[in-house]
Every structure is written in structure tokens, then in C-alpha cells.
Chain A
Amino acid sequence: MTSRLLQNFKGGRALVVIGRGGKEGSLESTLAKLGVTTEYPEIVDGRAQIDVGNLQSERDILFVDGDLEGAVAIEVNPISRLPPVPVIGLVGVEAPSRLKALVNLGATSFLRKPVHGGAVYTSLFMGVNQFMLRSDMHARLQDLEERRRSRRAVIRAVIFLMQQDGLDEESAYSQLRRESMRARQNLELYCEEFLSRRASAPDIPGRATSITLRGGNKQAM
């Protein structure tokens, strides 16, 4: 799998959640050079006012001051641990608890406060591209997980063909693989549909009835 690298951030929007005191240094001016506009969400009762529903991962980047406890409430995917948009941590106090909070928010890059202009492009590049890379990895893992779950259908389809057509295991598998490629489907999906078609065709002679690999039934094949 080849991940595309984002290197031009034109049109991006940085939402900078930071405590008062101007410690962001040259963050805004450097982001402007990179074609990224900056907004500072208001912090009310310790919570940044961010319209999470309107966040767009293609456009928005969230900069979060690690020194603000619980200022950002965004939903992190429980499996991928990814936030809805890239998060870049602004690190003031380098304490494990604060770094951990940023990691828990799904931060994929960090910037020390006060922000040094020369560090912004690197941090943005890493933060956004690591987010994209992890998103791609998560999607790939989900796909593999789905195929792993569907693997039982392949076994059942192989056995079905062995019993129905008297094929050996290798020939049955090869036939299914060839037909799945012809149908432009992955093998697992093809086998599921193959079994489904067979299940809805009760008049097939010699249909196997002894396959018992359903619902956790661990009987021998």
C-alpha cells in the first residue's frame, strides 16, 4: 500500500486551543506562510468551544495546549485511537501526565512552547501525514479483520466443492480463487455469496448437509 504524502497545506484551518498569554510564539505567522489560517476557539468554563460535527479531516488541524487540562472534548476512535482531525500537541510543561493526555487525544506530532517558526512545517508535516498514515493503516486493519472473519466461508466453500464435485482440497480452492478473480471479488466475499447461492437452491443434487461449522460449533468436519 502506498500512502500519499501531503506536503502543501494551502487551504488548511488551524484551530489553536491555547491558554492566554501569547505563548504560541510565531505559530500563527508561520502557518500563514504555509497557507493555513488560524482560529482560536473560545474557552468557556475550561472547555474549548469547538463544533466537532463540522470538523473536516481534509482541512482542519487541531493544535492543543497540553497545559490546559481537559480543554478539548473530542471523540477518539476506540480502536484506532484516532481523533476526527489531526491533533498536534503544544508542549509547555514536559510532564508525563500532560504528554499522556495529548497522546490520549490522538496527537500525532508535537511543538514546544514558545513555538519556534522553524519547527512548524516539520510538525505540521509529521502531524498530518502520520494521521493519514494511521487512518490508512486502520482502514487496512479493518479490511483484514473483516476478511479474517469471513475466512470460515472459504473453508465451508472448499468443503462444499470437495463433497459435491469430488475435488481435492487444492483443486477446490483453485476453482474458487479463479472464479472470485473472474467476478472481481475478494475470495472471502465470493465464497460467502457462493454459499448463499447454494443455500437458496435446495434442488441441487447431493448438496452437503453435514457441514457443521456454524455459530461456534466446533464439531469435526
Chain B
Amino acid sequence: MARKHYRIGIMFSTTGSYSVVARSMLNGALLAFQENAEADGAVTLEPVVVNPSGDLERYRALSLELLGAGIRQVLGCYTSSSRKEVIPCFEKFDGLLWYPSHYEGFESSDNVIYTGASPNQHVLPLVEYLASRVGTRAFCVGSNYIWAWENNRIFREALTARGGTVVAERYLSVGDTEFDQVISAILEQRPDFVFNNLIGTSAYAFFRAFRAACRARGIDQVNEIPVASCTLSEPELAEIGDEAIDGHLSSSVYFSSLESPANAAFIAAYAKAFPGGPVSSADAEASYIAVKLLAAALEQAGTDDARAVRAAVASQSLLAPQGEVRIDPQTYHAWLTPRIARSTLNGQFEVLLEARSPIAPDPYLVQSSPRFASAMRSPVLRVVQS
């Protein structure tokens, strides 16, 4: 029987301020395409790769271009702002966007399959870990867009409920690398830890500058003011550089260091296919998973019609590099396995804690948060002496 052939859109900003993660996502996706081509399955997939370069208008234009060319399944986006920008296009043309990155939740479009982590799978486990083992006074920094705003809001409410305090929140434009004032404020406040929602080059610059500022003042940053993130991955550690690579906490559903046959095979195949890097990441794995699930759903549905594929993916499960993954039929988000890890000098993560099994996605935190928003206490800001 002839194999059915489908063109699949791939839309990642492989240039721009967050291109390192995006290139690892592209690699993860392309690896799955390669494995699909080598397998004798019922479908063949042809990637049609576009690069919006981090420009929101380009995301929208390229989505329309892909959908207008008859492509109905697109894997893409890293930032939530880009995803929210393109969703109306997918809803209008009834296409399906496969979104392979962790995000802040409070969304559930019928035209999106979410294979990255929901907030109950990244930020809430991190709050639990930090409050019980590190401390309860947090200083939040983030890139100035929806991801950091909302993730900080969820973080603040969860930490406040545990008796903790957010002493301040600071936001910088995506790509901004000027951190002197923020770091001065952190050192003035001396929180128990920094909660980081900066992305891309901003994050790498912050890690370097913060470590250097602490060193200059004789502060053991790793032990006295550790930085915790829901975004930090292996290719980003390489970008931070040796001077500040170790001791950072990260909450994620995947780390390259996981020990399992499935992950060993994934890491080996990835390294062989992309010797020039960037190395794999949680978002690369989520992209890999998305293409695998898409291929299985296309095979089951026998068509690339969005509704048929969406219906088919609900019954798929996969032994992924992180462990078992399946799509929740109500929210079309993934069951994933949360983990907390700390970065090491060799550019990897040492896993400190992990869930025993995949946990259900809860994008609206219906099962994971109180009914009422916690009282909006202002962060305890103090005037920074100039």
C-alpha cells in the first residue's frame, strides 16, 4: 500500500534572541522526521521549515502562508506571545498548531495540541521544592511579556499560600542585557533565591552578570542566592558559559541526563544527526514528541484534517525519552513527568527530585490552586540606595 504523504509546517525562530532553544527544537523535530522517513510506516512527512526570526508579525504572516499553501499541521512557536499571535490564523483556517514548549497555561484552543509542560507540571513543583528546601523570600525577574507575567503570578500565589513572600518583581524587554540595577536591587534585598523568567540572551547575560556581581562581593551565589527557572535547558547552559554554568535550579519534564534506554537512544541519535549542536533540551524533546504523536495520529486518522487528527491524537501514547507521554483528551495538553534538577559544571543537569509517574496537565490550575486569588499584597519593595 502506498504511503500517504503529508507536508508539515515547522515554524521556529532559528535566528533572534531566543534562537538557541529554537534551533534545538528544530533539531528535535527534524530527528523525528528522519526516524519517520527511515521507518516503514503508513505516512511520510515532509517538513516545510520557516523562520520568523522572533518577529511577531512574521509569525502571523508565515502561518497564513503555510495554511494558505494547504498545510494543515504546523509545529511551532516557543514564546507564548508568538503562539497567541498565530492561534487566530489556525482557528480561521482550521489548522492544527503543535506547540512544543512549556508555558504559563490558562489557554486551551481547539486548534492547538500542547506537548510542553503546563504550569502544574513546572512552576508548582518548583514552588514546592523551593519553599521546603531553599527558602521563602523570592526576587522575581523576567522578560516583559505574558510568560513571565503569568508565571510570576502563579508563582507568587503559590508561594504566598505557603507563607512566602515575593520581595520584588522586575521585568526587562526581550533581548535586554543591562542588569546592573536589577542585580543591585537583588543584592540589597538578599532574597533566599531568585526566580528567573528571563528568556534567551537576556537570561544568559543575567546568569553571568549575577554570578560575577556575587563573586565581587564575596557572596557564594549558588548556596546563598540560587537562581531557579522553569526555562533553563542544556543548550542554554552552554550559552551562559563556564564562568556561571553550575548550581542553577531548573524545573522541567526532561533533562538530557535522564537514565533510560529511550533517552539514551534519543541522545545518541540526536548527537549523531546534529553534531554541530545545539544540544538537546526539554523543548527539543517536546518537539520530537510532537512529531512522533502527529505521525501516529495522521496514520490513525488517514487524513490531515484538523478535527480528525485531533480526535486521533487523544488515543495515542508514546514511550518518550522522558518516559510515558500521552495527550489528555479534554484539554489536549500532555501528561508529563515533572523533575527538579541542578546544573553542573559539565553543562548537564543533576536530577534532584522527580515525580513517580506522569501527571495530568492542569492548564487552568483547576485541580491545583485555591478558588480565590490570594490577596494581592504588594511586593516588599524598599528604596534602593543609589
- Give residues in A with beta carbon < 8 Å to B: 2, 4-11, 26, 29-30, 32-35, 116-118, 121
Q: Are B373 and A117 in contact (CB under 8 A)?
A: no
Q: Roughly how many angstroms separate A56 CA and B365 CA in the complex, as a whole number?
A: 23
Q: Are A10 and B366 in contact (CB under 8 A)?
A: yes
Kindly state whether residue B344 has any CB partner on chain A within 8 Å: no
Q: Roughly how many angstroms separate A106 CA and B360 CA in the complex, as a whole number?
A: 37
Among listed B104-112, B199-207, B293-301, interface-contacting one: B104-112
Question: Nearest 3 CB-CB pairs, A to B?
Answer: A35-B366, A5-B373, A4-B372
Determine the chain B residues whose CB is within 8 A of the CB of A6 once the complex forms.
Answer: 371-373
Main secondary structure of the interface of B (DSSP, over half): loop
Known: A2-B375, A7-B371. 20 other contacts (CB 8 A): A4-B372, A4-B373, A4-B375, A5-B372, A6-B371, A6-B372, A7-B369, A7-B373, A10-B367, A10-B371, A11-B371, A29-B330, A33-B330, A33-B331, A33-B363, A35-B364, A35-B366, A117-B108, A118-B91, A118-B107
Q: Are B108 and A30 in contact (CB under 8 A)?
A: yes
Q: How near does chain B come to A123, taking the closest CB pair, in angstroms?
A: 14
Kindly state whether residue B277 has any CB partner on chain A within 8 Å: no
Q: Are A8 and B365 in contact (CB under 8 A)?
A: yes
Determine the chain A residues whose CB is within 8 A of the CB of B375 once the complex forms.
Answer: 2, 4
Q: Roughly how many angstroms separate A106 CA and B114 CA in the complex, as a whole number?
A: 37
Q: How near does chain B come to A117, taking the closest CB pair, in angstroms?
A: 6
Q: Roughly how many angstroms separate A113 CA and B370 CA in the complex, as a whole number?
A: 31
Determine the chain B residues whose CB is within 8 A of the CB of A117 once the complex forms.
Answer: 108-110
Determine the chain B residues whose CB is within 8 A of the CB of A29 once the complex forms.
Answer: 330
Q: Are B370 and A8 in contact (CB under 8 A)?
A: yes
Q: Count A-B pairs with CB separation below 8 Å.
A: 51
0/1 per residue, B357-386, Cβ < 8 Å to A? 000000111110111110100000000000
**Which of under 10, 10 to 19, 20 to 34, or 35 or more describes the interface residues of B?**
20 to 34
Main secondary structure of the interface of A (DSSP, over half): loop
Determine the chain B residues whose CB is within 8 A of the CB of A34 once the complex forms.
Answer: 364, 366
Q: Are B108 and A33 in contact (CB under 8 A)?
A: yes
Q: Are A32 and B330 in contact (CB under 8 A)?
A: yes
Q: Roughly how many angstroms separate A117 CA and B107 CA in the complex, as a whole number?
A: 9
Determine the chain A residues whose CB is within 8 A of the CB of B364 once the complex forms.
Answer: 8, 33-35, 121
Q: Roughly how many angstroms separate A7 CA and B375 CA in the complex, as a whole number?
A: 12
Contact of A7 among B87, B108, B110, B372 (CB under 8 A): B372
Determine the chain B residues whose CB is within 8 A of the CB of A2 once the complex forms.
Answer: 375
Closest chain B residue to A26 by CB distance? B110
Determine the chain A residues whose CB is within 8 A of the CB of B110 once the complex forms.
Answer: 26, 117
Determine the chain B residues whose CB is within 8 A of the CB of A8 once the complex forms.
Answer: 364-366, 369-372
Determine the chain B residues whose CB is within 8 A of the CB of A35 once the complex forms.
Answer: 364, 366-367
Q: How near does chain A come to B112, taking the closest CB pair, in angstroms?
A: 10
Determine the chain A residues whose CB is within 8 A of the CB of B372 once the complex forms.
Answer: 4-8
Q: List 27 A-B contacts (CB under 8 A).
A: A2-B375, A4-B373, A4-B375, A5-B372, A5-B373, A6-B371, A6-B372, A7-B372, A8-B364, A8-B365, A8-B371, A8-B372, A9-B366, A10-B366, A10-B367, A11-B371, A30-B108, A32-B330, A33-B331, A33-B364, A34-B366, A35-B364, A117-B108, A117-B110, A118-B107, A121-B106, A121-B364
